Amino acid sequence: MCPSGTATAGRKRKGASGRPPTGSKRRRAPEPAHEASGWASLPTDIVGLVSGRLLAEDVDYLTFRAVCSGWRASTSDLGILALRKPQLRPHGWIALCDGDGAPLDSDGEITLFNTRTVWRLRIRLPDLRCHRVVSFTDGLVILLHKRTTAVRVVHPFTLATVQLPPLAPAFRNAIKDREALFSMSAFVCSSPTAPFSVVARFPWRPMVLWTQPSRLSWEVIHHGMVELQNFLPFQGLLFAITKWREEIVMVYPPRKISMAYYSLADPSICREYLVEVVGRMMLVLQHGNDDRACPKYAFRIFEVDIWRQKLLPICNLGSRALFLNTDRCLCVPTMSLPSLYSNSVHFSVPSSPAVMHSLSSGLSEDLAALCRIHDMKEETRPSVRPFTIADHLLTYCNHMEWARGLMFHEYHHIPDSFEELKEKIKAQCSQVHIPRTGTGGSKAKLCHI
Q: Which of 396, 417, 289 is nearest to 351 (CA)?
A: 289
Collapsing DSSP to helix, strand or coil, 313 comes out as strand
Q: How many CB atoms lie within 10 A of CB 177?
A: 13
What's the CA gap between 56 and 86, in Å, rounded? Answer: 10
Q: Find, among 410, 405, 366, the residue nearest to 385 by Cα.
A: 410
Radius of gyration of the chain (CA): 28
d(CA 339, CA 356): 12
Q: What are phi and psi of 192, to 5 degrees?
A: -55, -30
d(CA 101, CA 104): 9
- 251 in any annotated domain: no
Residue 71 within any structural domain of the chain: no
pTM assigned to the model = 0.83
Q: How far apart are CA 392 and CA 397, in angstroms?
A: 9
Q: What confidence score (pLDDT) does residue 242 get? A: 87
Domains identified in the chain, total number: 1
Distance in Å from the first CA to the final CA of the chain: 103
On whether residue 336 sits in a domain, the answer given is yes
Give how far the C-alpha of residue 413 lies from the chain's centroid of Cα atoms, to the nearest Å: 25
Residue 327 maps to a domain: yes
**CA quadruple 310, 316, 322, 325: dihedral positive or negative?**
positive
Contact (CB, 8 A) for 194 and 252: yes
Specify whether the backbone of 125 is left (phi greater than 0), alpha (psi in -120 to 50) or beta.
beta
Residue 402 lies in a domain: yes
The candidate with the shortest Cα–Cα distance to 118, out of 325, 303, 338, is 338
Q: Which pLDDT belongs to residue 68?
A: 75
Question: Do you find a cis peptide bond into 253, omega within 30 degrees of 0?
Answer: yes
Q: Which of 106, 121, 198 is nearest to 157 (CA)?
A: 121
If the chain, 449 residues long, is cut into consecutive pieces of 10 residues, what is the mean pLDDT of each piece? 43 46 54 54 74 62 70 63 76 90 87 90 90 91 95 90 93 84 90 83 87 92 80 93 87 88 72 94 88 82 95 95 95 94 95 95 93 94 94 96 95 95 91 70 38
Does 126 fall in a domain?
Answer: no
| Helix or strand run (H / E) with residue 321 | strand 320-323
Residue 118 in domain: no
Distance of alpha carbon 142 from alpha carbon 207, whole angstroms:
19
What pLDDT is stored for residue 306 in this prediction?
94
**C-alpha to C-alpha distance for 42 and 387, rounded to whole angstroms:** 48
The answer to whether the CB of 118 falls within 8 A of the CB of 340 is no
- Please give the pLDDT value at position 350: 87
Q: What is the pLDDT of residue 440?
A: 38
Please give the pLDDT value at position 28. 58
388 part of a folded domain:
yes
Q: What are the φ/ψ torsions at residue 343 (nearest 5 degrees)? A: 55, 50
Main-chain phi, psi angles of 332, to 5 degrees: -125, 130
For the four alpha carbons of 257, 163, 69 and 112, in that order, the dihedral sign comes to: negative
State how far the Cα of 404 lies from the Cα of 147, in Å rounded to an integer.
18
Q: What is the span of the domain harbouring residue 281?
A: 261-417
> Residue 214's pLDDT is what?
86
Phi, psi of 188, deg, nearest 5: -95, 130
DSSP letter, residue 72: H
